[in-house]
């Protein structure tokens, strides 16, 4: 089963992860004993109905939130014992993020938004590296634009460029196409796919859109805080079908 | 990081405008106050009258006190409040000093020419001198000639012009004796603006000055070949061991104007109080605006935290932004503070708090201090508000809406309760303070501390207040319902708005009502304490003793009580206000000081009656002795005859008129209290020889007191008014910021079908809730402070909060809240179609 996939080459690994919010009677068990290993160089989609714990999954796997029990690791690094500053350092060196919206700092130009993780790490971003990465995401020449001057799709491309600039172990996407029209969404998913295929980048994406999920190598299905199924080589129809029956499954 | 901070500032100008404005105003306020303070510390007092005398000798105008603490000897000196005269042989001793070319003794005494109605002319107070000392300024004859007979005078040009008097005219002069008519023999030219001068013959001047044989000061001109410093040294040696003090150069000004020296002390304390309060207000306000800015960019900060920034880096970012704002706002505000400083100084001169001869110091120090303190305030505020942002969880970047944290952090609650406890302690301390200079700064500090407690406990208070006030709102239609729920949910945002408004209400009430509380109590005591049927008041410098004698000789007048006022010290340098009243058997028919022990009998034999406050603090009872230093430096040992309650209306000590009048610059009575059944016209007839005296009823004393109180209140309002104006700006700008930040929320409301009118009405109701909460909290704070203040100052917990000014304050604050919520809301709500 899923637990047997655990290998030394996994980019992200969760072992019996439990996450509980709140205390006492009002406690919510958002993740309940989740174990999963995501191999390096793969494109994984995480799906599930609202409240299934897919956002919590992302937070715990990416080091945005601490687990209640179990262990989460990125590469060989265990995140459980890290404090807030250590987690931040880990995120800025080894994790990239693409959120649904509000990915960019409005006050900064594209160039500075992309260079932000490097700058905060105390490094000076290389102009050529930024130009190259902008070229890669199809925004060559937009380095000095401000976020407000860009379309939604272009903003997501900048976010992807920023996620890639540090050459991270893994890029996490939280509904990265959720706020886009279908044509633009397809372009963005294609871009993520290319990153996996051409550069061996690991991508983990939370989504509720079967079409988006169909671009992944593997789809994980979450319901009520546990992983209930896994699908390889997904198509939109099969994913939609599985989602429809997910309620009954649980 | 710096680049990022700069870019953020550029992009979010409006968000930082609030902090900028607050820091700008704070810098201006600190510059202005710093300038007052510096003027107080080292402002030059120009000499006028003694400009032509390089060396000036006066008597030491201080009381000295030496305390022995262990093996440390501490020496303190405090000024007295009337002129100390030089010993009789001083002029002779100076004349014997080699190198003294001319030695000019000077007499100074009040001498006011009166018009036909007995009124003095407008302009500075007139002083009488002997013509022989005219060369000190110098005054030279412009028209006519020097006075030759004792019935002739010379007027200075300014006075003669104001009065329209020319050589040969006759004029009545009210000096220390009965008014007399003189002929203007000449008009003298001299460079004075702060005083008017009336010159008499030497014998007449000597008679009017009193103090036989003594001089007010002596001017000395060095002989050719002798330097001023050399001569001054020799005179100092010659006068060693006496109370005479030698002044040269810039030191002559303070010697000529002891009042200006007193004004300097007042400037120092006022500058410090206003500047300090302003700075504290600035920190409080800027913490609020930075907090609001941080709230508006909550998602951005969360994003930063998610992708790369450590908590330390976010804190540093906010700190740098604050410093950048401070770096711009500080110097600009400091520049704006210069004209402000000039304006305040002019107003103080206008109100008579500061004499014109005190030159305002213009130096870069106050500006530098303002820039530094502003930066410090900005940094401090950023540190406080960054504490909050450090708690932002990076995962929040992923959630769509910024959620109000439900619980107030425990640390904040603890800090809040500690501040509240501190405020309560200060309230208690305040109730133990009996003198205004001690209690005024504590009053404002208490208000500030309690306001800080409100700021810290704000979310909790706001939630409670909105639950209570919101109850009727929830029952109403859409807007009321929305407003009530919004207010409760957004308690923390609204708490940031309530703080400056509460501070505004509390400050305004405290500033206005400390004055009325004191004024009312003093006026009430004066009204209750004057039993006299009639009061004789003077339009000029005072009521001459001869007038009192004339009335005593009139049939139907049973008692005439002369009243003079001054300030005395104890050898231990305590300062007390004192009144002198004619001692005698009829005193209890004109004056009731509300004796708690003893009586006023025996006042004539160096007796003293003391207020209960002094009696308590010094453990005095009838029969005890009390050592005093009178206004002119004369030590006396007095015996306590009684203890009384009405100190605010009549002064802290009561001496006999004869004792006090002999030791003050102006021996004329401030008023006469009459026990009489004569009608006013009969009294008027008895006073026919005394121009400018009027017959009033017993309430006149209280009326005069109220007027004087008004002037001192005006000075307080001027100073604290600046702090108020500053607080108002801060409150308005916080409100506007808080409303402008809610653009998205308004858009959402419009989208779900709320009409523009409904949104605006909702906001109005919300603003009203905020205003009511702030008014309640502010009133509670000021009421508590005023109660303590009155308990300490007037001995009973009786704060006088007059309805009209209170309603005015409440109305203004409510209107401000509504307007500064309404305008930005209107601007951010599109008129047509949902946003």
- Say if residue A220 is exposed, middle or buried (CB neighbours under 10 Å; 0-12, 13-18, 19+): buried
Is B4 in Cβ contact with A108 (below 8 Å)? yes
Q: For residue A249, what pLDDT is reported? A: 47
B397 interaction partners in chain A (CB closer than 8 Å) = 99, 102
pLDDT band at B180 (very low <50, low <70, confident <90, very high): very high
Secondary structure of B505-565 in HEC code, one letter for each residue:
HHHHHHHHHHHHHHHHHHHHHHHHHECCCEEEEECCCCECHHHHHHHHCCCCEEEEEEEEE
Instruction: Provide, as residue numbers in chain B, all residues whose Cβ is less than 8 Å from the Cβ of A205.
Output: none
CA of A112 to nearest chain B CA: how many angstroms apart?
9
pLDDT for residue B433 is more than 60: yes
CB-CB contact of B461 with B454 (8 Å): yes
In this prediction the ipTM stands at 0.84
Q: What are the pLDDT digits (tens) for A104-136?
A: 888 888 888 888 888 888 888 888 888 888 888
The reply to whether B744 touches chain A by the CB within 8 Å rule is: no
| Phi and psi at residue B126, to the nearest 5° | -95, 140
Size of interface A-B (CB pairs under 8 A): 79
* Burial of A84 from C-beta contacts in 10 A (0-12 / 13-18 / 19+): middle
Q: Which DSSP state fits A121?
A: T
Other beta carbons within 10 angstroms of residue A177's beta carbon come to 26
Q: Rounded to whole angstroms, how far apart are CA atoms B146 and B154?
A: 7
- Those residues with Cβ within 8 angstroms of residue B135's Cβ, 6 or more apart along the chain or in another chain: B52, B102, B104
Is the pLDDT at B377 greater than 60? The verdict is yes
Contacts B297 to A, Cβ<8 Å: none
- What pLDDT, on a 0 to 100 scale, did the predictor assign at position B2? 66
Give B151 or B833, the one with higher predicted confidence. Answer: B151
Secondary structure class of B725 (helix, strand, coil): helix
* Any A CB within 8 A of B14 CB: no
Q: What is the largest CA-CA distance in chain B?
A: 101
Over the stretch B391-430, which tens digit does the pLDDT of each residue have?
666 766 555 444 545 566 777 888 889 999 999 999 998 8
Nearest Cα residue in chain A from B301? A105
Cβ neighbours of A145 in B, within 8 Å: none
> Minimum mean pLDDT among A23-27, B22-26, B665-669: which range?
A23-27
A174 touches chain B (CB under 8 A): yes
- Are B144 and B184 in contact by the 8 Å Cβ rule? The answer is yes
What is the C-alpha separation between B620 and A17, in angstroms, rounded? 81
- Cβ-nearest to A108 among B1, B7, B395: B7
DSSP B109-124: EE-EEE-TTSPBPSSS
Q: What is each CA distance from B358 to B43, B58, B340, B351, B352, in whole angstroms?
A: 6, 20, 18, 14, 12
The rounded percent of chain B whose pLDDT value lies above 70 is 92
Highest average pLDDT, of B11-25, B491-505, B801-815, B817-831, comes from B801-815
How far apart CA B82 and CA B772 sit, in angstroms, is 51
Task: Name the token pair of B344.
Answer: 């305040």
More confident: B486 or B117: B117
What residues in B contact A149, CB-CB < 8 Å?
none
Q: What is the mean pLDDT of chain B?
A: 85
Give CA separation, B484 vs A223, B763, B770, in Å.
38, 10, 11
Residue from the list B300, B306, B313 with its beta carbon closest to the beta carbon of A97? B306
What's the rounded mean pLDDT across residues B346-365? 81
Q: How far apart are CA B149 and CA B590, in angstroms?
A: 42
Give dist(CA B343, CA B28) in Å, integer: 12
DSSP B454: H
Distance, in Å, from the CA atom of B224 to the CA atom of A100, rounded to the nearest integer, reads 94
* pLDDT higher than 50, residue B599: yes
- Note whether A99 contacts B311, CB cutoff 8 Å: no
Is the distance from CB of B173 to CB of B111 less than 8 angstroms? yes
B324 min Cα distance to partner chain A (Å): 16
Is B471 an 8 Å CB contact of chain A? no
Strands B607-611 and B534-538, by their bridges, are unpaired
Contact A89 B11 (CB under 8 A): no
Chain B environment of A89 (Cβ under 8 Å): 310
Q: Which of A107, A117, A118, A163 to substitute to test the interface with B, most B CBs within 10 Å?
A: A107
Angstroms from B393 CA to nearest CA on chain A: 8
Residue A124 Cα, gap to closest chain B Cα (Å): 11
Q: Which residue, among B101, B202, B104, has the nearest Cα to B146 in the 3D structure? A: B202
SS3 B626: strand
Q: Which of B393, B406, B233, B409 minimizes the C-alpha distance to B314?
A: B393
Interface check for B12 against chain A (CB to CB < 8 A): the answer is: yes
Q: Do B395 and A65 touch (CB under 8 A)?
A: yes
- When scoring A51, A64, A165 by the number of chain B Cβ atoms within 10 A, the one with the most, hence best to mutate, is A64
In the sheet where A218-223 sits, what is the strand order? Answer: A95-98, A170-174, A202-206, A43-47, A218-223, A226-232
Q: Which residue of B has its CA nearest to A55?
A: B398
Residues 6+ apart with CB under 8 A from B501: B731, B735, B770, B771, B774, B775, B778, B813, B816, B817
How far are the Cα atoms of B397, B443, B523, B612 from residue B563, in angstroms, in the given order?
Answer: 77, 33, 17, 21
Cross-strand bridge partners of residue B222: B100
- The whole-angstrom separation of Cα B767 and Cα B824 is 13
Residue A6 has pLDDT above 60, yes or no: no
- From CA B299, how far away is CA B321, in angstroms rounded? 17
Confirm if A48 and A223 have CB atoms less than 8 A apart. yes
Closest partner CB to B308 (pick from A55, A58, A120) = A120
Q: Does residue A242 carry a pLDDT above 60?
A: yes
How far is Cα of residue B602 from the mean position of the Cα atoms in its chain?
Answer: 37
Contact B309 A106 (CB under 8 A): no
Task: Say whether residue A57 is in contact with chain B using an 8 A CB cutoff.
Answer: no
Q: Is the CB of A72 inside 8 Å of chain B's CB atoms?
A: no
Q: Which of residues 268-327 of B touch A (CB under 8 A)?
A: 299-300, 303-313
pLDDT at B621: 93
Question: Quick one: pLDDT band at residue B11, thresholds 50, 70, 90?
Answer: low
Percent of chain B with pLDDT over 90: 29
Comparing C-alpha atoms, which of B173, B197, B215, B110 is closest to residue B564? B110
CB A4 within 8 A of CB A16: no
B598: left (phi over 0), alpha (psi -120 to 50) or beta: left
| pLDDT score, position B490 | 67
Q: Point out the least confidently predicted range of B184-198, B243-257, B277-291, B515-529.
A: B277-291
For residues B801 and A102, give the distance between their C-alpha atoms in angstroms, rounded to a whole number.
Answer: 53
Q: Indicate yes or no: CB of B8 within 8 angstroms of CB of A107.
A: yes
Mean pLDDT of chain A: 84
Tokens standing for residue B705: 């007191």
d(CA B526, CA A164): 84
User: Hey, is the C-beta of A111 within 8 angstroms of any chain B C-beta?
Assistant: no
CA distance B22 to B18: 6
CA distance A136 to chain B (A): 21
Q: pLDDT value at position B169?
A: 93
Per the structure block, which two tokens stand in for B699? 């309430």
Contact at CB, B306 and A84, closer than 8 angstroms: no
Chain B, nearest residue to A171 by Cα:
B307
> B797 at the A interface (CB within 8 A)?
no
B570-B571-B575 Cα angle (round to 5): 30
CB contact under 8 A, A85 and B310: yes
* Highest mean pLDDT pick, A91-105, B9-23, B561-575: B561-575
Closest to B833 measured CA to CA, from B751, B742, B748: B751
Nearest chain B residue (CA) to A114 = B307
Residue B12 CB neighbours (<10 A): 17
To the nearest 10°, report the CA torsion of A179, A181, A183, A184: -40
Q: How far is B399 from chain A (nearest CA, A)?
A: 9
**CB distance from A58 to chain B under 8 Å?**
yes
User: Is B310 in Cβ contact with A84 (below 8 Å)?
Assistant: yes
CA B86, B88, B90, B92 torsion: positive or negative?
positive
* C-alpha–C-alpha distance, residues B670 and B662, integer Å: 14
On chain A, the residues whose CB falls within 8 A of the CB of B14 are none
Number of other residues whose CB lies within 10 A of the CB of residue B580: 28
Closest chain A residue to the Cα of B13, Cα to Cα:
A107
**Region A2-249: CATH code:** 3.40.50.300
């Amino acid at each position: 089963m899923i637990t047997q996939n655990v290998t030394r080459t996994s980019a992200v690994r969760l072992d019996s992860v439990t996450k509980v919010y709140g205390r006492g009677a009002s406690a919510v068990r958002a993740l309940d004993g989740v174990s999963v290993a995501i191999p390096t160089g793969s494109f994984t989609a995480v799906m599930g109905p609202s409240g299934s714990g897919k956002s919590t999954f992302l937070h715990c796997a990416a080091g945005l939130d601490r687990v209640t029990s179990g262990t989460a690791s990125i590469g060989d690094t265990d995140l459980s014992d890290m404090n807030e500053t250590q987690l931040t350092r880990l995120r800025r060196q080894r994790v990239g993020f693409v959120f649904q919206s509000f990915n960019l700092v409005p006050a900064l130009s594209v160039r500075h938004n992309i260079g932000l993780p490097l700058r905060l790490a105390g490094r000076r971003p290389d102009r050529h590296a930024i130009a190259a990465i902008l070229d890669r995401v199809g925004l060559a020449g937009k380095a000095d634009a401000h976020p407000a001057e860009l379309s939604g799709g272009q903003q997501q491309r900048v976010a992807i460029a920023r996620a890639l600039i540090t050459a991270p172990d893994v890029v996490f996407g939280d509904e990265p196409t959720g706020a886009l029209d279908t044509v633009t969404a397809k372009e963005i998913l294609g871009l993520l796919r290319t990153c996996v295929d051409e550069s061996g980048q690991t991508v983990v994406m939370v989504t509720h859109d079967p079409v988006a999920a169909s671009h992944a190598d593997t789809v994980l299905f979450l319901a009520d805080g546990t992983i209930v199924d896994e699908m390889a080589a997904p198509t939109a129809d099969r994913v939609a079908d599985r989602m429809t029956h997910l309620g009954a499954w649980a | 990081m710096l680049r990022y901070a700069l870019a953020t500032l550029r992009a979010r100008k409006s968000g930082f405008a609030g902090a900028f404005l607050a820091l700008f105003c704070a810098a201006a306020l600190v510059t202005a106050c710093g300038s007052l303070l510096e003027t107080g510390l080292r402002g030059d007092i120009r000499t006028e009258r003694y400009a032509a005398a390089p060396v000036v000798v006066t008597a030491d105008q201080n009381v000295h006190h030496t305390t022995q603490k262990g093996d440390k000897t501490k020496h303190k000196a405090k000024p007295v409040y009337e002129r100390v005269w030089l010993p009789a042989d001083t002029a002779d001793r100076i004349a014997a000093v080699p190198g003294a070319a001319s030695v000019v003794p000077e007499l100074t005494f009040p001498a006011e020419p009166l018009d036909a109605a007995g009124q003095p002319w407008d302009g500075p107070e007139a002083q009488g001198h002997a013509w022989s000392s005219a060369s000190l300024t110098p005054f030279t004859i412009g028209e006519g000639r020097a006075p030759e007979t004792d019935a002739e005078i010379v007027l200075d040009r300014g006075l003669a012009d104001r009065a329209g008097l020319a050589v040969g005219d006759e004029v009545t002069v009210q000096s220390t004796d009965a008014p007399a008519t003189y002929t203007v023999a000449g008009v003298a030219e001299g460079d004075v603006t702060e005083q008017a001068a009336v010159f008499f013959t030497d014998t007449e001047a000597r008679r009017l000055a009193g103090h036989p044989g003594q001089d007010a000061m002596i001017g000395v001109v060095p002989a050719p070949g002798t330097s001023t410093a050399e001569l001054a040294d020799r005179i100092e040696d010659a006068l060693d061991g006496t109370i005479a003090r030698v002044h040269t150069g810039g030191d002559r000004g303070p010697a000529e104007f002891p009042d200006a020296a007193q004004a300097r002390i007042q400037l120092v304390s006022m500058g410090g109080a206003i500047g300090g309060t302003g700075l504290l207000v600035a920190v409080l306000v800027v913490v609020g605006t930075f907090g609001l800015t941080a709230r508006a960019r909550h998602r951005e900060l969360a994003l930063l935290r998610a992708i790369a920034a450590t908590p330390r880096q976010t804190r540093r970012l906010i700190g740098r932004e604050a410093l950048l704002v401070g770096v711009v706002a500080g110097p600009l505000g400091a520049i704006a503070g210069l004209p402000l400083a000039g304006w305040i100084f002019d107003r103080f001169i206008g109100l008579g708090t500061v004499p014109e001869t005190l030159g305002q110091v213009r130096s870069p120090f106050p500006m530098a201090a303002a820039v530094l303190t502003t930066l410090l305030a900005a940094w401090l505020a950023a540190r406080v508000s960054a504490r909050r942002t450090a708690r932002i969880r990076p995962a929040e970047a992923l959630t769509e809406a910024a959620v109000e944290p439900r619980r107030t952090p425990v640390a904040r609650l603890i800090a809040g309760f500690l501040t509240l406890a501190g405020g309560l302690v200060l309230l208690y301390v305040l109730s133990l303070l009996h003198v205004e200079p001690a209690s005024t700064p504590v009053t404002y500090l208490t208000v500030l501390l309690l306001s800080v407690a409100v700021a810290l406990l704000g979310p909790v208070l706001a939630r409670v207040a909105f639950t209570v006030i919101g109850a009727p709102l929830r029952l109403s239609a859409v807007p009321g319902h929305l407003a009530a729920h919004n207010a409760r949910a957004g308690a923390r945002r609204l708490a940031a708005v309530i703080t400056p408004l509460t501070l505004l209400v509390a400050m305004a009430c405290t500033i206005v009502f400390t004055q009325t509380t004191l004024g009312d109590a003093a006026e009430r005591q004066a009204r209750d304490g004057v039993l006299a049927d009639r009061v004789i008041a003077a339009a000029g410098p005072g009521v001459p003793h001869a007038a009192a004698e004339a009335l005593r000789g009139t049939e139907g007048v049973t008692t005439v009580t002369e009243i003079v006022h001054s300030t005395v010290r104890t050898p231990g340098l305590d300062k007390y206000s004192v009144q002198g009243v004619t001692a005698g058997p009829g005193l209890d028919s004109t004056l009731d000081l509300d004796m708690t022990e003893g009586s006023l009998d025996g006042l004539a034999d160096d007796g003293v009656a003391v207020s209960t406050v002094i009696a308590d603090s010094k453990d005095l009872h009838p029969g005890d002795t009390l050592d005093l230093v009178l206004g002119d430096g004369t030590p006396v040992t007095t015996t306590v005859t009684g203890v009384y309650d009405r100190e605010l209306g009549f002064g802290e000590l009561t001496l006999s008129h004869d004792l006090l009048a002999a030791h003050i610059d102006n021996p004329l009575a401030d008023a006469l209290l009459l026990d009489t059944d004569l009608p006013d016209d009969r009294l008027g007839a008895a006073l026919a020889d005394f121009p400018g005296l009027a017959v009033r009823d017993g309430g006149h004393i209280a009326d005069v007191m109220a007027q004087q109180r008004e002037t001192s209140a005006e000075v307080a309002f001027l100073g604290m008014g600046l702090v108020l104006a500053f607080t108002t700006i801060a409150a308005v700008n916080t409100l506007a910021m808080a409303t402008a930040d809610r653009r998205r929320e308004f858009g959402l409301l419009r989208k779900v079908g709320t009409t523009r009118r409904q949104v605006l009405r909702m906001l109005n109701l919300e603003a009203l809730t905020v205003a009511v909460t702030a008014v309640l909290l502010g009133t509670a704070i000021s009421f508590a402070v005023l109660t303590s203040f009155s308990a300490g100052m007037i001995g009973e917990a009786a704060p006088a909060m007059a309805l009209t000014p209170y309603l005015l304050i409440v109305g203004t604050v409510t209107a401000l809240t509504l307007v500064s919520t309404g305008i930005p809301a209107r601007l951010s709500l599109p008129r047509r179609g949902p946003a």
